Every structure is written in C-alpha cells, then in structure tokens.
C-alpha cells in the first residue's frame, strides 16, 4: 500500500465487507436462504445464460486486457504529459464518470488548484457531460493560451452532449495549432471498426483506442475509456489493473460464506424486499464524492427497470449529517446505507492544543483527527441503526490505485449479481433513449419532426 503518494507499493491493499450492523434487520438464517438464488445468479453471470450476456466482457477485463493497447495508452499518456498543460476529456455518463472519480480519489484534494509543477502532470478537465454553454466558456477561459490535447470518448460519435463539446474544442485546437498539428493532439476512444467518430478518426489520422463491444459504458472504467485520462493525470494504471485482477480472483466462488461481493448483493436484495428501497452510498472523505457518482450510474442503470430496483443516492459525511442527517435519522424508513470507510488516510493531523478551552475541545487535544472521524462513523452507525436504518460498511485500507481497482471490481460484480437476483437484465438501459427521442424532436433533428410537433402541441395545451 502507499503510505503517501511518493512511496513505492510495499504491500497489497484490499477491501473487507462488514455486515455486523444488520443484526436488527436481517435474521441469521436469511443470508443462507439466499444461497440457491445466488448460485443461479452466479451461473447466469459466469455462464452467460442470463439476459445481457453479450455485455459481460468486463468480468475478465482485469486479467485479459489487450496488452498492446495498454502499452499504447501509457505511451499516449506520456506524450500528453510532455506536450500539454491540459487534457480535455470529452464524454458523458460512463465515458467520463469513471475517470473523474478515479482522478479525484487518487490525487490531492486540491488537485485542480495545484501548480503544474506540484501536479507533475496535465490538468485533466472534463467536457461534454452537460449542455451548459457557461461551463464550456469557463473551461475555454481556464485553458487560455495553455497547450492542450483532447481525448474524445464516444462509441458512436453522435451523442449530442460530447459531439457539441468536441466541435467547440476541435475548432479551438485547429485555430491554435493548425490542422496537421491538431490531429496529433486528438485521441479518440471509440468503436473498434464503425461509427461516426471512428470514421473521422481514421480520416484524420487520430490515435484511436477501443471501447470493447462487450463492455457497457458504466463498466468501462478499466478500458481505454478510463485508463487514458487516469494515466495522463499521473496515476499508476498498472497498479489499478493489478488490484482489479486480484479482486477478479477473490470473487469467483459463489459461496456466500466466502464471497463478500456476493454477500453485499444478497443483503441489499434482502433489505429491498423488506421495503428498504433507497440505498445511500456514503463516505467520510470529501474526495470520494465522485466515487458515489460513478456508483450511482452503475447501480441505477443496472437495476432501475421494469418498475423495480433499488434507488441509488449518496451522502458525504460528516458534512451531510448537518443537512440530510435529520431525514436519515427520522424520515421515511425506506433507507439503507452502504459506507465506504477509509481505514488509513494518506495524511493525518492531531488536534492542536490551545491556551484556553473556549471551544470545549480540550478533551481532544493531541488526538488524531482521523481517530475523531472514525468515532463519528461509529456513532452514526449506532444512531442510524437505532433509528431504523440498516448500515453496511465496505472498509478499504488506503487510497491508492491498487485499492481503487479492487473496489471497482467489487461493486461491478456485486451489481451484476444483484440485478439477476432481482430478475432483470443488469447490462442494458432501454429507458435512457426515452428523453433523447423527445429532445431530438424539439431540436428538429431530421426524422423526429413528428415527435417534436406532438410535444409542442401538448405543451401549448
């Protein structure tokens, strides 16, 4: 594990799952009685007999990834580090959330404000994840005259938000460097053989990386989709993949007494069937907020269909205890909590002494602030349990690439099993297209005029 970011990896980090705070909510026999259903879900996942079987290539991605492309990713990252102050990563949903959460997780909490010398790598910024013109202009202003490159990520190349952003930054790149030099600063992560982005990339000689056919967007962080921007930020993607590969080996046996990822999937389904229909993913470290955003897409797109599924939400503690804490403690009793608890922070400080004790903190002088944080976590678990909220905890040793890769795989395999336990296809997202059809109609996209006319008529009524 890393004790801090500068030291070498001296031992392997891992993850542990703690269900001890479920005793009031789940009887001793219930987990064992889920075993037959878990065995069936495991067979669906491992043998490809379940719905969505064509999108299971993430299962063995950590151990069977394309070594040649992996080497090209690292070479491209080094080139970006050598010639760019910014990497503009353009994508939406799974095409940006994985990289964004990893960079937040792995770097200084104020990574964005660090000088290039302190960061020792380009500032990785994100575009194409909204339709805000103010956001785009602010990003253009931030980049200013600095050198930059673009990593555009899209399977099709026609998704509205990233396509608009790419047009904007492509134009800026060409104006700054000229067409030929700009082409050397564009990296396209897209389909292996087809689609608008692949066609344009081949025509202009952009370096391309592959979004595998059998890996959906929310499972794609360990492909080039996430790996290139993560590597460009200065993180160690070898360790990221090593952690995921270790988790791949750890979570094969469907025996619930041995497989903690499957335990998590089983417990959340037991609780869901008892009426706990909303799950809060919580942390006690501010730089894990984007991890929750990645998890929310993973859980929400995997399970929210056929008018069922656990609703994924999140909270950042202790901050949100002063805003959401009242509702969690005494509101509608449909909540379950899963805490990702960091056991060893990258840094720790002691509570300083003071000449007087006007703030009443004398009893904490000399105590570690992380110790205080951990006591707060324990107090919250006890209070929420007493208030009728079941709590599960995923403990991680430290914040480093190995641990993150391990944790990514833990949640990915758990969501696959959880979806099958709930009788749905965990690898499709048919509902995502509904708003797009309406939007295309209102925008006047060819072929959608009738939808637009109908919507406008309804709005006028």
Q: What's the CA gap between 98 and 303, in Å, rounded?
A: 18
**Number of other CB atoms surrounding residue 268 within 10 Å:** 24
- Quick check: helix, strand or coil at residue 136? helix
What is the per-residue pLDDT for 115?
85
Q: Domain locations in the chain?
A: 15-50+243-425, 59-235
pTM, whole model, 2 decimals?
A: 0.93
The encoded tokens of residue 184 equal 């050397």
What confidence tier does 6 reach under pLDDT thresholds 50, 70, 90? very low
CATH superfamily of 59-235: Glucose-6-phosphate isomerase like protein; domain 1 (3.40.50.10490)
Considering only CA atoms, which of 415, 431, 428 is closest in space to residue 45?
415
Mean pLDDT to the nearest integer, 21-33: 96
Interaxial angle between packed helices 224-232 and 237-250, expressed in degrees from 0 to 180 and rounded to the nearest 10:
140
Q: What's the CA gap between 288 and 107, in Å, rounded?
A: 11
User: Per residue in 261-314, pLDDT tens?
Assistant: 999 999 999 999 999 999 999 999 999 999 999 999 999 999 999 999 999 999
Q: What's the CA gap between 52 and 214, in Å, rounded?
A: 10
Residue with tokens 């031992």: 11
**Of 51-60, 371-380, 415-424, 430-439, minimum mean pLDDT range:** 430-439
Mean pLDDT to the nearest integer, 28-35: 96
Q: What's the CA gap between 73 and 181, in Å, rounded?
A: 20
Can you point out the beta strands (E) in 319-377?
Answer: 335-342
Evaluate whether 15-50+243-425 and 59-235 have a shared fold: yes
Q: Are 211 and 55 within 8 A, CB to CB?
A: no
The stretches of 350-427 forming alpha helices (DSSP H) are 369-386, 401-421
Q: What's the CA gap between 60 and 416, in Å, rounded?
A: 13
DSSP class of residue 308 equals: B
Q: Tell the CATH topology of 15-50+243-425.
A: Rossmann fold (3.40.50)
Name residues whose C-beta falls within 8 Å of residue 443's C-beta, 6 or more positions apart in sequence: 452
User: Per residue in 316-357, pLDDT tens?
Assistant: 999 999 999 999 999 999 999 999 999 999 999 999 999 999
What is the per-residue pLDDT for 409?
98
The encoded tokens of residue 284 equal 């006690």
Q: What's the CA gap between 274 and 91, in Å, rounded?
A: 38
Q: What's the CA gap between 3 and 17, in Å, rounded?
A: 22
- 436 a catalytic residue: yes
374 by Cβ neighbours in 10 Å (0-12 / 13-18 / 19+) ranks as: middle
DSSP string spanning 51-115? TTGGG-GGGGHHHH--HHHHHHHHHHHHHHHHH-SEEEEE--GGGTHHHHHHHHHHS-TTGGGS-
- 301 a catalytic residue: yes
Q: What's the CA gap between 230 and 237, in Å, rounded?
A: 7
- Vertex 386, ends 371 and 314: CA angle to 5°? 65
What confidence tier does 2 reach under pLDDT thresholds 50, 70, 90? very low
Name residues whose C-beta falls within 8 Å of residue 19's C-beta, 6 or more positions apart in sequence: 26, 263, 267, 392
Q: Check whether 246 has a pLDDT greater than 80.
A: yes
Mean pLDDT to the nearest integer, 125-142: 96
26 by Cβ neighbours in 10 Å (0-12 / 13-18 / 19+) ranks as: middle
313 by Cβ neighbours in 10 Å (0-12 / 13-18 / 19+) ranks as: middle
The residue from 301, 337, 398, 399 that is catalytic is: 301
6 by Cβ neighbours in 10 Å (0-12 / 13-18 / 19+) ranks as: exposed
Q: Check whether 120 has a pLDDT greater than 60.
A: yes
Q: What's the CA gap between 215 and 54, in Å, rounded?
A: 8
The reply to whether omega before 318 is within 30° of 0 (cis) is: yes
Considering only CA atoms, which of 265, 234, 247, 294 is closest in space to residue 406?
247
Q: Are 208 and 219 within 8 A, CB to CB?
A: no
Name residues whose C-beta falls within 8 Å of residue 156's C-beta, 6 or more positions apart in sequence: 190, 191, 195, 196, 197
Q: How far is CA 291 from CA 60, 66, 83, 121, in A?
A: 22, 26, 29, 21
Q: What's the CA gap between 230 and 240, in Å, rounded?
A: 10
The residue from 7, 120, 258, 436 that is catalytic is: 436
The mean of the pLDDT values for the chain is: 93
The encoded tokens of residue 168 equal 């904007």
Please give the residue that has the higher pLDDT: either 442 or 285: 285
**Of 156-160, 204-208, 406-410, minimum mean pLDDT range:** 156-160
């Amino acid at each position: 594990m890393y004790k801090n970011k500068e030291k070498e990896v001296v031992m392997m980090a891992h993850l542990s799952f703690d269900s001890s705070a479920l005793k009031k909510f789940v009887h001793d026999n219930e987990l064992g009685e889920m075993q037959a259903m878990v065995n069936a879900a495991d067979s669906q996942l491992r043998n490809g007999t379940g719905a969505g079987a064509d999108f299971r290539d993430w299962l063995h991605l950590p151990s069977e990834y394309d070594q040649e492309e992996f080497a090209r990713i690292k070479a491209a990252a080094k080139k970006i580090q050598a010639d760019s102050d910014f990497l503009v990563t353009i994508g939406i949903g799974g095409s940006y959330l994985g990289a964004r959460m990893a960079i937040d997780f792995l770097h200084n909490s104020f990574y964005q404000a660090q000088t290039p010398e302190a960061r020792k790598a380009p500032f990785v910024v994100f575009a194409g994840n909204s339709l805000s013109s103010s956001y785009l202009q602010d990003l253009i202003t931030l980049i200013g005259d600095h050198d930059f490159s673009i990593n555009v990520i899209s399977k099709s190349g026609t998704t509205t938000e990233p396509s608009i952003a790419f047009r904007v930054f492509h134009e800026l790149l060409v104006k700054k460097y000229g067409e030929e030099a700009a082409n050397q600063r564009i990296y396209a992560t897209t389909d292996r053989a087809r689609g608008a982005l692949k066609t344009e990339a081949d025509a202009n000689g952009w370096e391309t990386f592959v979004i595998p056919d059998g890996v959906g967007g929310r499972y794609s962080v360990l492909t080039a989709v996430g790996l290139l921007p993560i590597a460009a930020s200065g993180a160690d993607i070898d360790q990221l993949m090593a952690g995921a590969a270790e988790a791949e080996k750890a979570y094969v046996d469907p025996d619930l007494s041995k497989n903690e990822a499957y335990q998590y999937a089983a417990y959340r389904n037991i609780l869901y069937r008892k009426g706990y229909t909303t799950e809060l993913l919580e942390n006690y470290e501010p730089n894990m907020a984007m991890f929750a955003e990645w998890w929310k897409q993973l859980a929400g797109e995997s399970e929210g269909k056929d008018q069922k599924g656990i609703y994924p939400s999140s909270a950042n503690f202790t901050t949100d205890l002063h805003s959401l804490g009242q509702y969690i403690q005494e509101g509608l009793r449909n909540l379950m909590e899963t805490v990702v608890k960091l056991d060893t922070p990258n840094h720790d400080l002691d509570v300083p002494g003071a000449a007087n004790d006007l703030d009443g903190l004398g009893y904490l002088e000399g105590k570690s602030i992380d110790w205080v944080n951990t006591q707060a976590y324990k107090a919250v678990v006890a209070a929420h349990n007493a208030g009728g909220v079941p709590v599960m905890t995923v403990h991680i040793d430290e914040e480093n690439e190995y641990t993150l890769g391990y944790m990514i795989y833990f949640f990915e395999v758990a969501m696959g099993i959880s979806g099958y336990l709930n009788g749905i296809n965990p690898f499709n997202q048919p509902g995502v297209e509904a708003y797009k059809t309406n939007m295309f109609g209102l925008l006047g996209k060819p072929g959608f005029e009738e939808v637009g006319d109908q919507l406008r008529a309804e709005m006028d009524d």
